[in-house]
Structure 1
Amino acid sequence: MTHSLLLEIGLEDMPAKVIVPAAEQLKDKVSVHFKDHDMSFDSIQVFNTPRRLAVKIEGLAEGQKDKTESVKGPAKRIALDDEGNWTKAAIGFTRGQQASIDDITFKTIKGEEYVFVEKHIKGLSAEEVIQKLEGVLPSLSFPVSMKWGTHSYRYIRPVHWLTVLLDEKVVDMTLFDVPSGRETRGHRFLGQAVTLDHANDYQARLKEEHVLVDRNERQALIISQIQALCTDNNWKDPLDNKELLEEVTDLVEYPTAFYGSFSDEYLVVPEKVLETAMADHQRYFPVRLDDDQAKFLPYFIAVRNGNAEYIEKVRKGNEKVLSARLADAAFFYDEDRKLSIDDFVNKLSTVSFHEKLGSLYDKQERLTAIAHLLAPYFDMTDEQIGLIERTGMMAKFDLVTQTVNEFTSLQGDIAGIFAAERGEDRQIADALSEQYLPKSTDGRLPETKLGALISAADKLDSLLSFFSVDMIPSGSNDPFALRRQAMGIVRIFKAFNVSVQLDKLINAIAETVISVETKASYMQNTPVVIDFIKDRVDQLLSGEEGLSEDYDVRQAVLESNQTDILALIDHAGVLTYQKKQPGFKAVVESLTRVSNLAEKADDECSISTDLFETQSEKNLYEALLKAEELMSEDLNADQQWQVFAELHPVIDDFFDHTMVMAEDTSVRNNRLALLKRIDDLSSGFARFDRLVIK
């Protein structure tokens, strides 16, 4: 016979963004708990609302199966004395296992006999295993947590009830001094407390009390309600804003969608500002006409946490709140329109970027210099190159506008809007609006070359600047989002096919810095910055490039001497492909053997052809010269691999006919120098000795 288990944690309203991760974490921890305790179940379903995290398990076993374990004790020579009597060690061991000396048997392990007893372990009941969850539930982790009352423990929000039902029976346990029971709670305003007779009654009984605990059901209802409103009014479906839809789903327990309006006098404010005021600040869906122009309309769609009763009052209340928000937006926008871009730029020198890194104007100067250095690698037209100076030297002007001060998420967007309104080149306006992209690890990338260039230059400046003043992220601490910015550089370089050696680029950037101290710090931190960026390349290879299981390939390319992001990605792709080819093992074995011996060579060593004694080392030297010549050309990753593939039989012949560690010191060092030069060449592609071959 199997059972159904309901476990629900009732809390004060949680932030929307933590609900789904917390519910999945609860599901995972409960699943692992039962698996660790050898308790099988058929399925586990997760439920959540702003006020609850719950799991429902079907087909839970009655309990653990009884089992017998063979427990090892002391060696026989220790368990018996010279007269064949049991020693204290043997007697103590059996007592510890709730057995007697009559239960002892002997087994031979690696030539020596040991004491063993067969220990019968009675399985725990389902209820007993469930009670052990008492130690699991407090272990859920959250981005933020809080204390309440006089308690010392912390959780995402105060816990108010705990429902634990095994079929119809309450399983006794507590969470933060809150005892378990069979009672759950309905909607805060529309529902009542619910006493459950059986775990299987959970979903249906709460629906009666205006709580939809199935998140998918809640979201489906929101979607259908919004689509119905749009169909009735000839509005464009606004549900392409997936992030807002997800958030709204986790803000309500019983959704009812409705629409409201605002004065069309606010339509003079840029649409991006209106959208932000509605979506980001009020969690409303902006409305557009369902035609080719998708005209922005003075309406909004909102989702109420409740039913349709008194919906008119709710509508008017929401309209009043939005009207005040839009009035503020219109005021700040009108005030900003009185100033020119140059007026804003002049203010930047008085605003600190960071106390150790100068003003926002200084930031602009640095990123502009970097943008000029990067431009050749973006394959830009002369026209685009001519726009770099103006774009860079006005990049941060919107940070001192009142509009951005009120709507901080619009930095960059406002720069693009204001630039377009004030007659700047359209390419400049687009680039300014794209300068902060991507805004997340996997966020949208810039679409224009000028935008990508300014974004990459800005991010490179931030990395080099903060590293130069020893503000390097450690652990989870990353207050300036440098990991995200480094990932942005990697993704932009990949998307725009930017091939540049980072060490040479950073050296060139350092030369643009006036301060001798800062220049020295840039140079000193170059290896650290490159390793930091390579960590993001590793992240991209593991995720986007699908190499999460190919740790050896990632390690081989990332530990190489290569600092070109694009080359690192290409080399990883070639190695992943070649691993499946028949000749891969032979090439890797040859180059690994070279690498192992090259470690014995002096750092400062040179090759003398006069010291060659065998034809095989002469052949290898000639093959090396040819390989170096080929590698100096603009070869793609596949062609570079082929260079090493053609070199490997010559390497094998060398090892077959030449004793590297010759007695003559000069000859030995000359041969090691030859191998080191080959290793230096191959290390620009990958560390072949890191590859796992079978």
Structure 2
Amino acid sequence: MRNFLLEIGLEEMPAHVVTPSMIQLKEKIEKFLVENRLSFESIEVFSTPRRLALRIVKLAEKQEDTREEVKGPAKKIAYDENGNLSKAVLGFLRGKGLTENEMTFKEVKGVEYVFATVEEKGKATEEILKELPNVILSMTFPVSMRWADNDVEFIRPIHWLVALFGSEIVPFSILGVDTSNTSRGHRLLEGVPTFSNADSYEEELAKFNVIANAAERKNLIRKQIAALEKENNWTVDLDEELLEEVNNLVEYPTAFAGSFDEKYLDVPEEVLITSMKEHQRFFDVHELDGKLSPHFISVRNGTDNHLANVIKGNEKVLVARLEDGEFFWKEDQRLQIADLVAKLSKVTFHEKIGTLAEHMLRTKKIGEVLAEMVELTETEKKDLKRAADIYKFDLVTNMVGEFPELQGIMGEKYAVLQGENEQTARAIREHYLPTTSEGVLPESKVGAILAVSDKLESLYSFFSVDLIPSGSNDPYALRRAVQGVIRILDKFGWKFSFADLQEKIFTAINAETEIYKLTYTNEKEALSFVKGRVRQLLSGKITRHDILDAVVNAEQSDISELFATAEVLNAHQNDENFRLGIESLTRVVNLAQKAEVAVDVNTSLFENEYEKALNEKIISLEENFTGNAEEKYQQLMSLSSVINEYFDNTMVMTDNEQVKNNRLSELQKLAKIILSFASVDLLIVK
């Protein structure tokens, strides 16, 4: 066994594709090894902006040998009338590279067949590794490019390749580049690393100012920033996304601190931090008391040589961005909210849907429907109305035009400056939340309702013009929007049927299409889409797909109830009585589907005490099936013995048509209650 080293040397890749590309390469190589029967202990990965590399630890010297017994034609057609092997058998033997002496006969289910044992000797690992170009070129990227005369696309041009099995070079080429045992050091520093074997990779690159291990590089950045914190009595709240991006921009990190004029601290902190983070990839710095400090921390791609010049250059670039922020902050304060809102009637939301002003108008109506259903106070309704009238105004300010990341944040600040109350201003900021699938949620009820209303309006508008996500295609981020809606409703514990909410929204908008400029359609598809997002969210907590199916397909759409039901079923799945209880309920649901006509249950047609006992339970459930999910579960499971006794003593599908329909109708009533909890027939309990 030897270690194998592969390095793909590239022009600098965008930071956001480095880590995903490394993961993809590892997965493809791992699959390649398994498919080719090459055993190994583990795979170690390395990545920088200029290279993707991995080391396969203890890779076998050759493929594993195989021995397989294969079945051929039936014995009865193995020979012709002259006693010679038939064409069918000759073809079978020829295809396997065998002779007549190597075949036998075996009986399978009473019929004899030709059998043969095929052995294949494993190839040398070096021969198999020569096929790696196909694996590498099968990689996919968000954006690819061609260069020179190549027809094949890759993330960036390939400049060198290293392929070492132990100390031996494995010869192959990709797009005109041949493998060798030489690499490249840091782009800004001279040197050509040469590897004596696969084990010297990190050590040799380090001599030429390249830290190939991404985790080691990131840890070094953390330590350097921590040292600057301690030295200057600062605190730095490390943004993990920014740290990941910075780590994938450098091969040899050197953190340093810079400063800017204190006068810029008069500009809102969010503007300064956005200028530093989004545009310069700088980490913001705070004093020990939590106040933003007029300093920043950046990471250089290189050593500390001439670091003073690097600091001055970064400070100069940052000041230009801060000047912009200060200018926009002052200019925007001269604008009036009413004038900005008026501009929104000329801003297109989507060419098939209308303007931002029309989107806001529909959002406001959805907010009114929601406000009634969750019983907002009159004061909250007033604040919601005002917020809905203006909440997108900051999109046409100078600041948000330059820094789109500040939408909502600047809206809140400008609203406060112009005398809007705290709840209205806060809702303007919170309506964007959550900004990511796991992002923070609104804290205020008014902000939460506005956020839900805005996201639902987007959902229903795009669905109404048939711009419905399919597969992985979701250009308008409707999945994320609906996931945000579900998380918000779950957080606030607002209990109502989502189907009822949707129906009220469609009715309200479609009754006044002249005002709202859009007719809502595709109601069933929209509700199904929402339930699909519920399932997706639940799948992060619950692994059993049948539980997810049972919950999402229940005859109810109260999102908080769906979550609670899933948790209850998940908690009880290993209970001793779970299987028997679910089987009893499933039997009711399955038989109830056989009802061809619905009739009122006539107790005079009951022929035994078990029908009466079940009917009493059903009547009781219809009146009292109102508790939480746990209570409903216990109520249903308590029916098990009554249901079993009923079926043991009652022939539902009797020849008497009147009695049969009466019994099926009785089961239908119970099935309706069961299915309002969960589609238990989808649970796998065998």
CA distance in 2, matches of 1:689, 1:524: 31
Which residue pairs with 1:480 in the alignment? 476
Matches within 5 A, 1:514-529: 524-529=521-526
Which residue pairs with 1:620 in the alignment? 614
Which residue pairs with 1:534 in the alignment? 531
How far did 1:337 drift?
0.7
CA distance in 2, matches of 1:615, 1:670: 15
Given that 1:378 and 1:453 are in contact with CA atoms closer than 8 Å, whether structure 2 keeps it comes out as no
Indicate whether 1:591 and 2:612 are aligned: no
CA distance in 2, matches of 1:525, 1:671: 37
Which residue pairs with 2:252 in the alignment? 254
CA distance in 1, matches of 2:613, 2:517: 44
Q: Amino acid of the residue matched to residue 246 of structure 2?
A: V
Q: Cα deviation per residue 1:242-261 (whole Å; 9 max; x = unaligned)? A: 11111101110111112222
Indicate whether 1:304 and 2:289 are aligned: no
The more displaced of 412-421 and 42-51 is 412-421
CA distance in 2, matches of 1:687, 1:177: 59
Change in 2 beyond 3 A, CA 1:607/1:250: same
Given that 1:218 and 1:249 are in contact with CA atoms closer than 8 Å, whether structure 2 keeps it comes out as yes
Indicate whether 1:652 and 2:612 are aligned: no
How far did 1:79 drift?
1.3
How far did 1:212 drift?
0.6
How far did 1:299 drift?
1.8
Alignment counterpart, residue 495 of structure 1, candidates 470, 491, 495? 491
Which residue pairs with 2:274 in the alignment? 276
How far did 1:532 drift?
0.7
Change in 2 beyond 3 A, CA 1:114/1:403: same
Given that 2:348 and 2:354 are in contact with CA atoms closer than 8 Å, whether structure 1 keeps it comes out as yes
How far did 1:26 drift?
1.2
Q: Cα deviation per residue 1:296-325 (whole Å; 9 max; x = unaligned)? A: 222221111111122222222212221222
CA distance in 2, matches of 1:686, 1:62: 55
How far did 1:692 drift?
0.5
CA distance in 1, matches of 2:7, 2:610: 75
Q: Cα deviation per residue 1:311-370 (whole Å; 9 max; x = unaligned)? A: 222222212221222222222222111012222222222222222323222222222222
Q: Which runs of 5+ in 2 are unaligned?
A: none
Q: Cα deviation per residue 1:523-551 (whole Å; 9 max; x = unaligned)? A: 752221121111111111111x2x12x11
Which residue pairs with 2:454 in the alignment? 458
CA distance in 1, matches of 2:421, 2:512: 37
Given that 1:399 and 1:405 are in contact with CA atoms closer than 8 Å, whether structure 2 keeps it comes out as yes
The more displaced of 579-588 and 551-560 is 579-588
Q: Which runs of 5+ in 1 are unaligned?
A: none
1:506 is paired with a residue whose SS is helix
CA distance in 2, matches of 1:374, 1:107: 73
CA distance in 2, matches of 1:605, 1:342: 61
CA distance in 1, matches of 2:672, 2:145: 55
Indicate whether 1:558 and 2:567 are aligned: no
Given that 2:509 and 2:519 are in contact with CA atoms closer than 8 Å, whether structure 1 keeps it comes out as no
Q: Cα deviation per residue 1:441-486 (whole Å; 9 max; x = unaligned)? A: 1122222222222211111111112111211111222111000001
How far did 1:372 drift?
2.9
Matches within 5 A, 1:387-406: 387-406=383-402
1:374 is paired with a residue whose SS is helix
Which residue pairs with 2:623 in the alignment? 629
TM-score normalised by L of structure 2: 0.96
CA distance in 1, matches of 2:599, 2:275: 67
Q: Amino acid of the residue matched to residue 124 of structure 2?
A: S
Matches within 5 A, 1:101-500: 101-239=100-238, 241-290=239-288, 292=289, 294-375=290-371, 378=374, 380-500=376-496
Indicate whether 1:671 and 2:670 are aligned: no
1:164 is paired with a residue whose SS is strand
Given that 2:234 and 2:285 are in contact with CA atoms closer than 8 Å, whether structure 1 keeps it comes out as yes
TM-score normalised by L of structure 1: 0.95
How far did 1:610 drift?
4.3
CA distance in 2, matches of 1:233, 1:426: 37
The more displaced of 178-187 and 600-609 is 600-609
2:137 is paired with a residue whose SS is helix
CA distance in 2, matches of 1:595, 1:267: 67
Q: Cα deviation per residue 1:471-508 (whole Å; 9 max; x = unaligned)? A: 11112221110000011011111111121201110111
Change in 2 beyond 3 A, CA 1:244/1:489: same
How far did 1:675 drift?
1.6
Alignment counterpart, residue 569 of structure 1, candidates 549, 563, 568? 563
CA distance in 1, matches of 2:473, 2:579: 42
How far did 1:386 drift?
3.3
Given that 1:378 and 1:496 are in contact with CA atoms closer than 8 Å, whether structure 2 keeps it comes out as no
Q: Amino acid of the residue matched to residue 623 of structure 2?
A: E
1:512 is paired with a residue whose SS is helix
The more displaced of 406-415 and 665-674 is 665-674
The more displaced of 75-84 and 305-314 is 75-84
Given that 1:344 and 1:397 are in contact with CA atoms closer than 8 Å, whether structure 2 keeps it comes out as yes
How far did 1:45 drift?
0.6
How far did 1:668 drift?
1.9
CA distance in 1, matches of 2:399, 2:61: 63
Given that 2:510 and 2:519 are in contact with CA atoms closer than 8 Å, whether structure 1 keeps it comes out as no
How far did 1:605 drift?
4.3
Paired residue total: 685
